[in-house]
């Protein structure tokens, strides 16, 4: 489940092999992967050079020379590979982007949830996303301001991409633990002090994930090792690293949620 740190790691790894390359064609193997009509993709993509690759929330953003934007969302099981055109194609590859150097960018996605978009205006894809939690101008007061007039439980709000972009199930649970806040809390009961702790916890969890090159999970190997540093996520019944109490698991907003019943209030 690639979240912000995993996507950031993938983006950094793709710049070397892809920036400056020109797409020469595209082969769609699972049509639902492509949100843009296949015929339009086949017509507009070839000839466009990759000027830069950035990340917005959990989206990869390929800035193209004709002004178009190619977006890829990996969802649950997506991965991106740059491989020689002559090499074998893994059965889970859903789309192939042909490059001008005998290589291909291959979108591999076992569960078929991932999506590809080619648009003229980036806002058509990422226009409704909330702020970037690691941006320099995303201050503690900006964070606290987001909570004004918001209601509901904390965990689902952290997962809401139009609230803040990039946080997924792993980093939401880890952030709540670091902040010492129960993910079931109603957000309108959070004090200014607690919001301050949560701000630093979110940034720390995401930074730590990036430092470890993300987490390798779900049979998708990306070289990251943050999965060895989870404090609560996926550790139901295991001792809390702070107090030793067994980590509990509940379902919130349809998502499994892990927390320490003693350290998080």
Residue 230 near residue 170 (C-beta atoms within 8 A): yes
CA distance 174 to 231: 7
Q: Out of 136, 219, 228, 237, which residue is the one contacting DNA (CB under 7 A)? A: 219
Which residue of 5, 168, 183, 209 would you call a contact of DNA, by CB under 7 A? 168
Q: CA-CA distance, 214 to 6, in Å (whole number)?
A: 4
Catalytic annotation, residues = 2-3, 58, 255
CB of 217 to DNA, least distance (A): 8
Task: Decide: is 189 part of the binding site for DNA (CB under 7 A).
Answer: no
**Which listed residue (75, 185, 203, 229) binds DNA by CB under 7 A?**
75
What DSSP string runs through 184-242? TSBGGG--HHHHHHHHHHHHHHHHHHHHTT---BTTB--S--GGGG-SSTT-TTSBPTT
Edge-to-edge strand order for the sheet containing 103-109? 23-28, 93-99, 103-109, 78-84
Q: Is 224 in the site for DNA (CB under 7 A)?
A: no
Which of 113, 122, 144, 208 binds DNA (CB under 7 A)? It is 113
Closest by CA to 7, choosing from 49, 67, 53, is 53
- Determine if 148 is a binding residue for DNA (CB under 7 A): no
x-or-dash string of contact with DNA, 226-265, rule CB under 7 A: --------x-----------------xxxxx---------
Q: Is 183 in the site for DNA (CB under 7 A)?
A: no
Q: Rounded to 5 degrees, what are φ and ψ at 163?
A: -85, -60
The C-alpha atoms of residue 104 and residue 33 are separated, in whole angstroms, by: 17
CB of 100 to DNA, least distance (A): 31
d(CA 166, CA 176): 15
- Identity of the residue, 103 or 235, whose beta carbon is nearer to DNA in the bound complex: 235
151 lies in the binding site for DNA (CB under 7 A): yes
Under rule CB under 7 A, residue 73 binds DNA: yes
- What the block records as the tokens of 87 is 């090499």
The one among 90, 111, 242, 265 contacting DNA by CB under 7 A: 111
**Which residue ranges make up the site for DNA (CB under 7 A)?**
1, 3, 32, 57-58, 73, 75-77, 92, 110-113, 128, 150-153, 156, 159, 161, 168-170, 186, 219, 234, 252-256
């Amino acid at each position: 489940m690639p979240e912000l740190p995993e996507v950031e790691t993938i983006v950094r790894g793709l710049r070397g092999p892809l920036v400056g390359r020109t797409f020469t064609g595209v082969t769609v193997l699972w049509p639902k992967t492509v949100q843009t009509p296949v015929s339009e993709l086949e017509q507009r993509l070839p000839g466009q050079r990759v000027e830069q690759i950035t990340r917005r929330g959990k989206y990869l953003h390929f800035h193209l020379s004709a002004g178009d934007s190619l977006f890829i969302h990996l969802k649950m099981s997506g991965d991106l590979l740059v491989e020689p055109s002559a090499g074998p194609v893994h059965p889970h590859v859903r789309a192939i982007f042909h490059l001008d150097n005998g290589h291909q960018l291959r979108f591999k996605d076992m569960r078929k949830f991932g999506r590809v978009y080619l648009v003229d205006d980036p806002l058509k894809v990422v226009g409704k996303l909330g702020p970037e939690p690691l941006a320099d101008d995303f201050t503690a007061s900006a964070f606290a301001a987001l909570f004004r007039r918001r209601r509901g439980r904390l965990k689902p709000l952290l997962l809401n991409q139009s609230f803040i972009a990039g946080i997924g199930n792993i980093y939401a649970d880890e952030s709540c633990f670091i902040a010492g806040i129960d993910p079931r809390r109603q957000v309108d009961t959070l004090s200014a002090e607690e919001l301050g702790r949560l701000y630093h916890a979110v940034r720390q969890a995401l930074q730590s994930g990036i430092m470890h090159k993300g987490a390798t999970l779900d049979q998708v190997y990306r070289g990251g090792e943050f999965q060895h540093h989870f404090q609560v996520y996926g550790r139901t019944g295991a001792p809390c690293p702070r107090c030793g109490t067994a980590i509990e698991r509940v379902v919130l907003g349809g998502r499994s949620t892990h927390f320490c019943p003693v350290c998080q209030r």
